[in-house]
Structure 1
Amino acid sequence: MINDPRDAPDGAAAAAARNNADWCDAVCRSHGVAGAIEGGLWASARRTPPLYPDAVTLSPDVAPGDVPGRIDVTSPGASVKDSFGVLDLSAVGFEVLFEAQWIHRPATEPAPRRAGGWEPVGGVDRLLAWEAAWSGAGESAGLFRPALLDDGAVFLASAATGPVTAGAIAYPGADVVGISNLFAADDDLDAAWRSCLAATDRLWPGVPVVGYEGGDDLAAAVRQGFTPVGPLRVWLRADR
């Protein structure tokens, strides 16, 4: 029996999509770009920061023609996150960039054992070190700005001080905690998920955890108690 609507597949996918849209909005606002929700669609009329979509659907009822008028399709790189995998945007100039699955881990799932002690990063210097480790290039490009630390985002790192060797971003909202950008320098994603989930259980006890993954990353999440709850598809504006 499902006692929490967030644990139902449809409810879990919808909560994950809304949490992700809120996170995208937070990143955009930190760069001075405003987005808005209207007609089941979060969208920004201005191009968003790198790696972040210009629109996120919040309802499977959004039609392909509803999207182009809400975003900037005149500059290269516009993208749309179809949160329910139902849109066909090829007729309006987009092509599929990748597909993935929303994932959900109920609050009743016990925290993993033998997990490392991940801690929230504090301060600008530590945030820069986190982004440098996440990028894999040993440098920060300023994608994740300090304003996010005051906007509910928690950047989890493998250690409070010293080198950052693993981490993730946790963002609470829509009655769930969304996890994104999980990484591990040693590629041990199972250990990274265990440490991440131990931290979320400590920081947000009794709250479901969501995100999206594909391929080997999805398999690692499933091994740590997540369930795939629905498809998503990211569309990229075709190069004209």
Structure 2
Amino acid sequence: MITDAATLLDAAVRNNADWCETMCRAHGLPGAFGPRAWSNPRRTPLYYPDAVTLTADASAEDVLTGIDRTTPGASVKDSHARLDLAAAGFRPLFDAQWIARPAGRPVPPVTAGSRPVRTPAELAAWALAWSGGDADEAALFRPGLLADPATTIVATYAADGRVLAGAVLTDSAGVTGVSNVFTTDGVPLSTAWAAALATAAPDRPVVGYESGDDLDAALAEGFETVGTLTVWLDA
């Protein structure tokens, strides 16, 4: 079982890169893993980086040589906040904290109506709730994700069928990654976290990254910070 912070950080980084690859493949845009970075030669889907560093010794060349910079908007996730890409024309977009929750910690009570999304229609409703009703953003989540054995999309439903909360789980690198955590209608984030933690395998640490109020909500659910990342945007 993974318990030390350094190993949890490595696993969280690889797990997140695996999720980026899964999302890109769902859009017919597979990337490639190298020894120090994952990168994609074509522009990736909305909100997803064009490259992710996998190791602390990754260089600017590792992430810049394999991506498309013919138009503005390429992004790089520096998983260890070690790179300076300003000289290459990038600017820092945001920093965030990698988080990890060791296996075996008690799971908070789950709201009734929480379960995995199973059908394309359920996924479409989940994605619309996640996007706040923006159909273009909701199109990011394609039905092919439901067939991926490493991916579980979790929803919490109201009695009338409305999606109140959700998250995405990704199993890889010996951990379960949690991303796209959201709630609607003023529902507290704890509802989404409880559903995600209850669905995750109990024998795996749960990892992800968050910032700001979302980070505070994760820490309240038993997560710990294990490292810092920086996302850079090509101007």
SS at match of 1:103: strand
Unaligned runs of 5+ in 1: none
Number of the residue aligned with 1:149 = 146
**1:210 aligned to which of 207, 229, 232:** 207
Question: CA offset at residue 193 of structure 1?
Answer: 1.4
Written as runs of structure 1 = structure 2, the 5 A alignment for 1:22-101 is: 22-101=18-97
Q: Alpha carbon RMSD of aligned pairs, Å?
A: 1.6
**1:131 aligned to which of 120, 127, 140:** 127
Amino acid at match of 2:204: V
What whole-Å deviation, never above 9, does each CA across 1:28-56 have from its counterpart, x for those lacking one? 01111121111310000111011100001
> Does structure 2 retain, via aligned residues, the 8 Å contact 1:116–1:194?
no
> Does structure 2 retain, via aligned residues, the 8 Å contact 1:116–1:195?
no
Unaligned runs of 5+ in 2: none
Give distance in 1, aligned partners of 2:74 and 2:219: 31
Written as runs of structure 1 = structure 2, the 5 A alignment for 1:1-16 is: 4=1, 6-16=2-12
TM-score, normalised on structure 2? 0.93
Give distance in 1, aligned partners of 2:18 and 2:83: 21
Equivalenced residues, count: 231
Deviates more, 1:214-223 or 1:151-160: 151-160
Number of the residue aligned with 1:178 = 177
What whole-Å deviation, never above 9, does each CA across 1:141-175 have from its counterpart, x for those lacking one? 41111111111311100039811111111111111
> Does structure 2 retain, via aligned residues, the 8 Å contact 1:133–1:139?
no
> Does structure 2 retain, via aligned residues, the 8 Å contact 1:154–1:169?
yes
SS at match of 2:68: coil
Question: CA offset at residue 111 of structure 1?
Answer: 1.2
Give distance in 1, aligned partners of 2:35 and 2:61: 12
What is the identity percentage for the equivalent residue pairs of Structure 1 and Structure 2? 50
Amino acid at match of 2:192: A
Question: CA offset at residue 199 of structure 1?
Answer: 2.3
Deviates more, 1:170-179 or 1:134-143: 134-143
Q: Do the aligned partners of residues 123 and 113 (structure 1) sit closer, same or farther apart at CA in structure 2, a change above 3 Å counting?
A: closer
Number of the residue aligned with 1:188 = 188
What whole-Å deviation, never above 9, does each CA across 1:99-121 have from its counterpart, x for those lacking one? 00000001021111354452001
Number of the residue aligned with 1:120 = 116
Amino acid at match of 2:178: I
Give 4+ residue runs of structure 1 displaced > 4 Å after superposition.
114-117
What whole-Å deviation, never above 9, does each CA across 1:46-74 have from its counterpart, x for those lacking one? 11011100001100111123222110111
SS at match of 2:18: helix
Give distance in 2, aligned partners of 1:154 and 1:236: 29
